[in-house]
């Protein structure tokens, strides 16, 4: 029976189901919740019903404005791990909220037998001691993103992407291995010596063992004399001496020859417009009087 047919009955048999699908299923599994009073199994996924979530607000529209829904949940079940949320494994996950007939569940919560309330990306996630709040952003959110190129002094490309074109693997700029030798804090520790001929600031460091295995952070500063590494953001779990990491070199998005695009001999693909030279004239030049060359 379809959810729409169930809504037309005098005795309603409908409930809400929520499916969260992470970008990388190898790091975090797909999870499901329902506001029904017992678990539902749809397409091999068990939708848990232990009072684990509560819709707190919803904003839906028929035009192209962004829809959003707020969900509040409590960690009463091991189907979702607060640590995985803190690690960022559910960042950008796809979230689908549908109405289904619990008396005769459909085979797909996006099929003709269900009513899709909203589908989009997982937005802001707030974690507290008692639970968490999830924001479901509709697919129209992508229409709010700027897709045109901005005139700015810094390069907008990510090091090694299709616009940058730097070969990180072939140039030996990624997969640089090291071991933690001393720990100051979750965002500062010392590693074994690595090559000092590469720029590491604004690069990526990822743990390959220990409690933070698989977690990445952006490097604020890597001192190539003491090999002390500082991150912009702390790692979620305790760092232990002996933990192993891999490092990818960074770029400060300038034309600098030691820390930026110039180091990689990639000025031809630089995407910014720095002031000076023939890149981008300053305001004084734009506001100046025309020159008569006659």
Find the DSSP H helices in the chain. 3-7, 82-87, 283-287
Domain range 176-269, CATH class: mainly beta
Cross-strand partners of 118: 97
Render each residue's pLDDT in the chain as its tens digit; 294 residues: 566 665 666 667 888 888 888 887 777 788 888 888 888 999 889 888 865 555 555 554 444 444 555 565 554 555 566 677 777 777 778 888 888 988 888 889 988 888 888 788 877 666 666 666 666 676 666 666 666 677 788 898 999 999 999 999 888 999 999 999 999 999 999 999 999 889 999 999 999 999 999 889 999 999 999 999 999 999 988 999 999 999 999 999 998 889 999 999 999 999 888 765 555 556 666 666 666 655
Q: What pLDDT was estimated at residue 51?
A: 55
Q: What pLDDT was estimated at residue 147?
A: 65
Q: What pLDDT was estimated at residue 64?
A: 46
Contact, 221 vs 252, CB < 8 A?
no
* DSSP string over 259-273: TSGGGGT-GGG----
Q: What pLDDT was estimated at residue 281?
A: 59
User: Which of 223, 230, 233, 153 has its CA nearest to residue 193?
Assistant: 223
Q: Is 261 exposed, middle or buried (0-12, 13-18, 19+ CB in 10 A)?
A: buried
Q: What pLDDT was estimated at residue 26?
A: 76
Residue 286: DSSP 8-state: H
Written as six digits, the tokens of 152 are 């700015």
Q: What pLDDT was estimated at residue 194?
A: 94
Q: What pLDDT was estimated at residue 282?
A: 60
Q: What pLDDT was estimated at residue 171?
A: 87
Q: What pLDDT was estimated at residue 293?
A: 55
Q: What pLDDT was estimated at residue 168?
A: 92
CA distance 288 to 70: 52
Contact, 246 vs 205, CB < 8 A?
yes
Q: What pLDDT was estimated at residue 15?
A: 87
Query: What is the residue extent of each domain of the chain?
Result: 3-141, 176-269
Written as six digits, the tokens of 31 are 């999870």
């Amino acid at each position: 029976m379809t959810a729409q047919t169930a809504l037309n009955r005098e005795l309603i048999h409908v409930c809400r189901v929520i499916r969260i699908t992470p970008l990388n299923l190898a790091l975090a599994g797909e999870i499901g919740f329902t506001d029904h009073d017992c678990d539902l199994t749809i397409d091999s996924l068990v939708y848990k019903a232990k009072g684990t979530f509560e819709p707190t607000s919803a904003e839906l529209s028929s035009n192209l404005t962004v829809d959003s829904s707020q969900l509040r949940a409590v960690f009463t079940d091991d189907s979702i791990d607060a640590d995985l949320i803190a690690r960022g494994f559910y960042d950008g996950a796809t979230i689908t909220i549908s109405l289904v007939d619990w008396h005769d569940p459909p085979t797909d919560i996006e099929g003709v037998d269900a009513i899709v309330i909203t589908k989009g990306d997982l937005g802001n996630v707030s974690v507290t001691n008692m639970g968490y709040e999830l924001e479901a952003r509709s697919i129209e959110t992508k229409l709010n993103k700027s897709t045109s190129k901005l005139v700015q002094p810094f390069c907008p490309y990510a090091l090694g992407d299709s616009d940058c074109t730097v070969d990180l693997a072939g140039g030996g700029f990624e997969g640089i291995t090291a071991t933690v030798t001393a720990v100051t804090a979750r965002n500062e520790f010392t590693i074994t010596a690595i090559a000092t001929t590469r720029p590491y600031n604004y690069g990526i460091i990822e743990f390959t063992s220990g409690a933070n295995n698989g977690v990445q952070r952006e490097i604020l500063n890597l001192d190539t004399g003491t090999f002390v590494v500082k991150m912009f953001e702390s790692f979620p779990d305790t760092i232990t001496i002996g933990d192993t990491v891999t490092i990818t070199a960074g770029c400060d998005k300038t034309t600098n020859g030691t820390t930026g695009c110039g180091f990689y001999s990639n000025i031809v693909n630089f995407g910014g417009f720095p002031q000076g030279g023939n890149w981008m004239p300053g305001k004084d030049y734009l506001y100046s009087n025309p020159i008569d060359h006659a």
